[in-house]
């Protein structure tokens, strides 16, 4: 059975074990891949960065490795897709529920959604990943796209 995440996760939009200094840099890098892949308009990148600054998406997770799920308005999206980054060093995002607090993040899913209701399975799958500390840990170890897919589909 194909996992709803991996259907929307394209090899060019997965950045593994990379180094960034800020949440803006992470969103810019992954967003650029989504743009090059033809999934989003050029406006998506700036919109996602601004949205993250106003309404952050950092999430403290059970296993201590935290995640963020940046996204923005559907008007910037051409085709639904998912970008992903695993970070060698923690990058500070701010906490979704308490924006004054920072959350050191090592896993980022950049969501490009055009019809959220149609992409509910993928969104639920992302939430399932976030709720599975072993899988989060496992994803951070992977060095290539195939192994990321195998980890997601094996979970």
Partner 1 sequence: MDTPKRILVACGTAIATSTVVAKAIEEALKERGISVTTRQCKAAEVKSLAGDADLIVTTTPVPSDLGVPVIQTLAFLTGLGKEAVIEQIVEALKEK
73 binds partner 1 (CB under 8 A): yes
Q: Cβ closer to partner 1: 33 or 125?
A: 125
HSE, side-chain direction, 13 A CA sphere, residue 135:
17
Q: Cβ closer to partner 1: 70 or 142?
A: 70
**Rounded CA gap, 89 and 12, in Å?**
21
| Residue in 120, 134, 141, 154 binding partner 1, rule: CB under 8 A | 120
1 binds partner 1 (CB under 8 A): no
The least distance separating partner 1 from the CB of residue 154, rounded to whole angstroms, comes to: 19
**Rounded CA gap, 51 and 88, in Å?**
24
Q: Cβ closer to partner 1: 17 or 75?
A: 75
Q: Where does the chain have alpha helices with state H?
A: 4-8, 23-36, 43-54, 120-130, 133-141, 145-154
- Interacting positions 88-117 with partner 1 (CB under 8 A): 96-99, 111, 113, 116-117
The least distance separating partner 1 from the CB of residue 84, rounded to whole angstroms, comes to: 14
Total binding residues for partner 1 by CB under 8 A? 29
Question: Do residues 34 and 40 make contact, with C-beta atoms less than 8 angstroms apart?
Answer: yes
């Amino acid at each position: 059975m194909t996992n709803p995440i991996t259907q929307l996760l394209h090899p060019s939009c997965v950045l593994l074990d990379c180094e960034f200094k800020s949440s803006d840099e992470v969103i810019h890098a992954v967003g650029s891949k989504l743009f090059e892949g033809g999934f989003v308009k050029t406006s998506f990148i700036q919109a996602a960065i601004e949205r993250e600054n106003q309404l952050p998406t950092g999430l403290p997770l059970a296993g201590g490795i935290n995640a963020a799920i940046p996204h923005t308005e559907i008007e910037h999206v051409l085709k639904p897709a998912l970008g992903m980054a695993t970070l060698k060093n923690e990058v500070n995002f701010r906490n979704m529920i308490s924006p004054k607090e920072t959350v050191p993040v090592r896993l980022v899913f950049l969501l490009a959604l055009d019809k959220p209701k149609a992409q509910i399975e993928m969104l639920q799958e992302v939430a399932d990943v976030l709720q599975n500390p072993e899988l989060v840990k496992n994803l951070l170890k992977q060095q290539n796209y195939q192994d990321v897919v195998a980890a997601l589909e094996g979970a």
